């Protein structure tokens, strides 16, 4: 018999309050003050991120800026500066790739690293994570946290364990007990709705979820039930993928005042198309377009998306899709978005089968 393969060594690195950290780095007088990055409250802006001083007041990402300022009147609310964030991101990714070519970025500051078989730091993923975090602080001027584990799911959970500016390791022999104690809300793909549904069924921890057979979970949750059956046991076989295929590209705008009717929406569409054209030109080699879509969010926060087969972005097609989407509710509109979807050019069947549940709710 062939010996079982050695467990993988996966690091999940995540910078702490990334946008806000870059702002404080570049304006040291903000240190110790509650800081958030986001849109203006009068323009229905939302918080993109905030530091821990702001979180102490209840401020959170995706919260409206107006609400954040009510919770924390002394909040320093700054507009985003993506050029500076991207510059810091390039430095961070260069550090990650100095340790392994198997780096899967999830955002500007967050990534999985597969360091299995890497000789740096005597082959210790824990020491590599410490060194990476120290280099990010020394070279970029911000802090990062890390999780180290045999797979991606557990590494991501572990990176939150000792935030900010910390790390946590889950060794192969510790996986079973670590996952059993996790709340079901920590499982990949389980959002607030599914977590509440599981809680209502008397399931609060992964250990309790293990009492359910795979057949029962599939009967209750469809194919996502099979994913739940594996994840609650700490099983995640997804590889770290160095080059992730882009699935879509889009732009959207939340308007200061609701667009009152279809004519106003039509008038707003060309500016969105121009914005999209600039992004599309930069992403020219990201894939083959196979659909175009329009997203409409109405004043009551209901939303709809209309899409159609297309081989290129088209203002005329977006106009048609807009008319169809608007007709579904025919009420004032607070947000419009336009975009394209790319054709699948790689087999993602195993990942789709594993993670069929909702990501956010």
pLDDT confidence band for 244 (50 / 70 / 90): low
Q: CATH number of the domain at 248-342, please?
A: 3.30.1490.100
Q: CATH number of the domain at 10-17+83-175, please?
A: 3.30.70.270
Q: Please, what CATH class does the domain formed by 178-240+349-354 belong to? A: mainly alpha
The model's pLDDT over 292-309, given as tens digits with 9 standing for 90+, comes to: 999 999 988 899 999 999
Show me where the domains of the chain are located: 10-17+83-175, 20-80, 178-240+349-354, 248-342
109 among annotated binding-site residues: yes
pLDDT at site 238? 92
Looking at the whole model, is its pTM more than 0.85? Answer: no
Q: Tell me what the pLDDT averaged over the chain comes to.
A: 89
pLDDT confidence band for 3 (50 / 70 / 90): low
Give how far Cα 77 sits from Cα of 23, 34, 36, 51, 83, Å: 11, 9, 5, 11, 18
The model's pLDDT over 90-130, given as tens digits with 9 standing for 90+, comes to: 999 999 999 999 999 988 899 999 999 999 999 999 999 99
pLDDT at site 1? 56
Does 324 qualify as catalytic in the annotation? no
- The Cα–Cα gap between 347 and 351 comes to 9
- In SS3 terms, 128-178 reads as HHHHHHHHHHHHCCCCEEEEEECCHHHHHHHHCCCCCCCEEECCHHHHHHH
pLDDT of 352 strictly over 70:
no
Given 110, 323, 344, 348, the catalytic residue: 110
26 among annotated binding-site residues: no
Q: Please, what CATH class does the domain formed by 20-80 belong to? A: alpha beta
Per the listing, tokens 């209901």 go with 302
């Amino acid at each position: 018999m062939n010996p079982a393969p050695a467990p993988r060594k996966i690091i999940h690195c995540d910078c702490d309050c990334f946008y806000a950290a870059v702002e404080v780095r570049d304006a040291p007088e903000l240190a110790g003050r509650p800081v958030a990055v986001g849109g203006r409250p009068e323009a229905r802006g939302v918080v993109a991120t905030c530091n821990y001083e702001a979180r102490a007041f209840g401020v959170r990402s995706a919260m409206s800026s107006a609400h954040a300022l009510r919770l924390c009147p002394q909040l320093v609310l700054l507009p985003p500066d993506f050029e500076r964030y991207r510059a810091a991101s390039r430095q961070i990714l260069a550090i990650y790739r100095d340790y392994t070519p198997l780096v899967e970025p999830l955002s500007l500051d967050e990534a999985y690293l597969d360091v299995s078989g890497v000789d740096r730091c005597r082959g210790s993923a824990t020491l590599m994570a410490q060194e990476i975090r120290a280099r990010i602080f020394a070279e970029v001027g911000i802090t990062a946290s890390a999780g180290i584990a045999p797979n991606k799911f557990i590494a991501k959970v572990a990176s939150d364990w000792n935030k900010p500016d910390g790390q946590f390791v889950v060794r192969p022999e510790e996986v079973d007990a670590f996952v059993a104690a996790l709340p079901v809300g920590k499982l990949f793909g389980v959002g607030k709705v599914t977590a509440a549904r599981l809680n209502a069924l008397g399931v609060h921890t992964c250990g309790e979820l293990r009492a359910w057979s795979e057949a029962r979970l599939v009967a209750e949750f469809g194919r996502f039930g099979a994913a739940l059956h594996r994840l609650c046991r700490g099983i995640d076989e997804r590889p770290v993928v160095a080059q992730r295929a882009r699935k879509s590209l889009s732009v959207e705008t939340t308007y200061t005042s609701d667009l009152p009717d279809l004519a106003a929406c039509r008038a707003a569409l060309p500016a969105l198309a121009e914005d999209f054209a600039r992004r599309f030109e930069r992403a020219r080699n990201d894939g083959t377009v196979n659909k175009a879509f329009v997203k409409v969010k109405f004043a009551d926060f209901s939303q709809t998306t209309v899409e159609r087969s297309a081989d290129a972005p088209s203002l005329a097609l977006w106009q048609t899709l807009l008319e169809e989407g608007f007709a579904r509710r025919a009420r004032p509109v607070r947000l419009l978005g336009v975009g394209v979807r790319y054709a699948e050019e790689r087999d993602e069947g195993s990942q789709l089968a594993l993670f069929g549940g909702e990501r956010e709710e």
